[in-house]
Structure 1
Amino acid sequence: KGLMDGIRAKGALVGGFVKFMMGFWAFMKAILGFDFSKKFFGFITGKVSLNNVRVLISGGGPLAPIVVKQYNRLGMSFIEGYGMTETSPISTLNPMEAYKLGSVGRVLPGIEMKIKDADEDGNGLVCVKGTIVMKGYYKNEEATREIIDDDGFLNTGDIGHLDDDNYLFLTGRQKNLIVTSGGKNVFPEEIENEFQLYEDVEEVMIAGYAMQDGSEGIMAVVQPPDALIKQFADDKESCVARIQKTIDEVNRTLATYKKISKLVVTYDPFPMSSTKKIKRPVALKMLKEKGLI
């Protein structure tokens, strides 16, 4: 998002030209099978020292497809992996030569992976077994039994599905799941990914909230960027209205049961983990104490 913000800051003419050329070179790559965009966009990627980078490696969380597409159109490719400390270190890999957009990769040799309690869309709890799985938590048998079953499968806490080629697609964390009034499962991370390239959103957290009929609705808690906060320092209503336009735009891309029905704007930074993920329970507690939710 920061890279594209820099392009937009040059004005509508420059932004429009770059966007057009990104689409043009993507089309030429599909036709000719050769990528000219890396050389062409060197004047942009060089500004952030990416012009000589051959491949980008991503981990720590699923990479939003919209971000991958953006970098691909600038001539850069990704390798993505999935794992956790307890599975030392990865159990899937999405390689450049067989990259699947939206997936965290194909299950590696010697590793068993199963989807437990899958729903109608095939999404369920991701469980892993193999020599990569830890023996257990040090001097904590109870915690070990909670995460590793009798068959040796480790409960990752992630929800996802496997395709016919054994590629894993993650949809969210089990503990963050929102269940709507119609019984539909909504994964906050899926909706949050839709905001990746919007300049009016610095951070966003999707969460459930209790509606008057007792069902659970979808709420977006947005932290605006500093530039927007300064722009509307004396007019917070206009700031909220500006962000609501972004919410409306994202809602047009979402299924009916995933649409955001409540917006909360916070002008304070979210509490973040060392891996730059929002600490959801801490953030929700903070927002409740401030009377925002």
Structure 2
Amino acid sequence: MDYVAQLKNLSVEHEFFIGFDSDGCIFDTMEIKQKECFCPTLIKHFHLQAASKYAREVWEFVNLYSKTRGCNRFNAVERALDLMKERHEFKTRGIDVPHMPEMRQWIKEESKLGNPALEAKVAATHSEELTMLLAWSKEVNKVITEMVHGIPPFPGVIDVLKKAHGKADKIVVSQTPLEALTREWTENKIDHYLNAIAGQEHGTKTEHLRYAAKGKYAPNKILMVGDAPGDLKAAAGNDALFYPIIPGREEESWAKFSEEALDKFFKLEFEGKYQEELMEEFDKALPTDPHWN
């Protein structure tokens, strides 16, 4: 499937457009996925067992408790390995944290950072390093399929989807694989509110908004909703507005969105001071540097 063409060819049905991140924003799935699926398999495939406590601490900081929260899994590996190299606990336990130069080069070259692109790269290069990375990523998906189910949307999400229905075109903007996104939205019977679901196969979040919305809607009528700085970056990269779902305050954030912010968006009162106040709160929620530095 030509995923880019799918987004570019989305028809404009309403005056407004809303993009929703999924993990940690619509669904309370970030903790279980990162702690029970991503991290244990990372420790296994990267042979970090001797420093598992510290590997887990680093991984959770990168993916849950810092400004890199919500980034693509391969960017997360790169950031986590860099932080692990800085920690003496790995060296003193005899672990030579890999640098993964071929992964880093692939990340620089590839915009659709997902298993299909990685599989193609492995087939072309037969790289042992990338083969290991792919094995880890595939096992992550397998464990997520087995582990993550029965998780409903945050309270307030369905209220927002209902209120926006008939007023805005809506898509998912995520770096989660498309299969998992489709399964989670379908399982909860809320996929019918959407015009499309964009996952990592469709490119970056910035690209999702560019292909689906930029130039089709007025900038002050495009809103990205997310819980991570990467979501804000995607909005800013397309001159769009941003509403934050603040980590740890998700229910409060959705209540405010339903009761106040969504109406301001539709009345064109969101841009300016109101959004700036939201951004101040969001910026305080996640640190840049780890506490062990």
Fold match, TM over 0.5? no
TM bucket (normalised to shorter chain) is under 0.3
Scaled by the length of structure 1, the TM-score of the pair is: 0.26
Q: Which has the higher contact order (CA 8 A, sep 6+)?
A: 2
When normalised by structure 2's length, the TM-score is 0.26
Give 1 or 2: higher strand fraction.
Answer: 1
More helix by share: 2
